[in-house]
């Protein structure tokens, strides 16, 4: 079996625990001075690449390569990926404030994939900021290779990938040839923490900087954001003291049972 290089997508997003605020001009979410981290699904993607290397026969997984697209600060999330155990990284840099839509990101990944020829590409199932859930699928389409989405288990043998995917109502098992794109669900694994020695080692690992222009990728936005607003607030509710009072309210006030 040939050696499989793995390409992993990493997005820098506002940390999942932060309560976001819409900016005063209602054009975007406030990102200045807000804690950012790796998109949680991408952490799972890196972890799975590492686990594949650990559980498959020695030498069957080659390089684990992380790729992030975005402003200069994306280097921070790439360093985290390297500290978790990725071997090297690409940073496709755009100026601060540039919005990269999933289609543009998929094209960047397509261009890098054509240089790197990964046998497997692992991406998160969605980024928790734009919640699009598109990039992995678009990439598989651009490369014309199979895709497994929202996976909670993967296995590779004889150059075939078997994935258990989370679907509405249950699970679905699919088998496909490599190369393929996999997008991760929360249940795939529990990502490891980077240890201090590994964080130090990660500083020496290479991050190759590229631009969309160098990759010949057009990143013009296709969607124009007209406004960003907070959702309507729910009105304050009431506290009930007993099951009887609750049932009474549900029957006679809300009339829902």
Q: Which of 38, 92, 88, 80 is nearest to 64 (CA)?
A: 88
**Among 40, 83, 90, 92, which Cα is nearest to 65's?**
90
Q: Is 108 in the site for other proteins (CB under 8 A)?
A: no
Distance in Å, CB of 120 to other proteins, minimum: 14
Please report how close the Cβ of residue 234 comes to other proteins at its closest, in angstroms.
Answer: 5
Toward other proteins, which CB reaches closer, 96 or 175? Answer: 175
Residues in contact with other proteins, counted by CB under 8 A, come to a total of 85
Q: Does 99 bind other proteins (CB under 8 A)?
A: no
Distance, in Å, from the CA atom of 34 to the CA atom of 130, rounded to the nearest integer, reads 16
Instruction: Confirm or reject binding of residue 152 to other proteins (CB under 8 A).
Output: yes
Which tokens sit at 152?
Answer: 């909670």
Instruction: CB nearer to other proteins: give 20 or 208.
Output: 20
- 221 near other proteins (CB under 8 A): yes
Tell me the HSE value of 11 on the side-chain side, using a 13 A CA sphere. Answer: 29
Positions in 12-31 near other proteins (CB under 8 A):
14, 16-17, 19-20, 22, 29
Least separation, in Å, of the C-beta of 250 and other proteins? 7
Alpha carbon dihedral 43, 82, 56, 151, in 10-degree steps, equals 20
Q: How far is the CB of 238 from other proteins (least distance, A)?
A: 6
User: 184, 50 in Cβ contact below 8 A?
Assistant: no
Which of 39, 82 has the CB closer to other proteins?
A: 39
Regarding 39 and contact with other proteins (CB under 8 A), the answer is no
Question: What residues contact 202, with CB distance under 8 A and at least 6 apart?
Answer: 79, 80, 82, 83, 194
The residue among 197, 193, 162 whose CA lies nearest residue 177 is 162
Residues 114-143 binding other proteins (CB under 8 A) are 125-126, 128-142
d(CA 56, CA 60): 7
Residues 181-200 that bind other proteins (CB under 8 A): 185-187
168 binds other proteins (CB under 8 A): yes
């Amino acid at each position: 079996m040939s050696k499989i290089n793995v390409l992993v997508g990493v997005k820098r997003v506002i940390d999942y625990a932060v309560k976001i605020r819409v900016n005063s001009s209602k054009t975007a979410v406030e990102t200045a001075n807000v804690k950012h981290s790796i998109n949680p699904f991408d952490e799972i993607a890196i972890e799975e690449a590492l686990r594949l290397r650990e559980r498959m026969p020695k030498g069957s997984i080659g390089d684990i390569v992380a790729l992030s697209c975005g402003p200069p600060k994306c280097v921070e999330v790439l360093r985290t990926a390297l500290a978790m155990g990725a071997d090297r990284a690409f940073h496709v840099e755009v100026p601060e404030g540039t919005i990269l839509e999933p289609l543009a990101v998929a094209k960047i990944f397509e261009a890098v994939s054509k240089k790197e020829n990964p046998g497997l590409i692992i991406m998160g199932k969605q980024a928790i900021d734009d919640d699009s859930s598109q990039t992995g699928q678009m990439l598989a389409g651009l490369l014309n290779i199979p895709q497994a989405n929202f996976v909670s288990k993967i296995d590779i043998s004889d150059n075939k990938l078997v994935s258990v995917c989370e679907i509405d109502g249950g699970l679905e098992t699919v088998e496909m040839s490599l190369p393929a794109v996999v997008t991760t669900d929360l249940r795939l694994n529990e990502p490891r923490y980077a240890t201090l020695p590994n964080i130090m080692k990660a500083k020496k690992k290479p991050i190759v900087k590229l631009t969309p222009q160098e990759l010949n990728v057009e990143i013009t936005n296709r969607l124009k954001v007209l406004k960003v607003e907070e959702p309507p607030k729910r009105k304050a509710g009431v506290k009930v003291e007993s099951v009887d009072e609750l049932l009474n309210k549900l029957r006679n006030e809300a009339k829902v049972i």
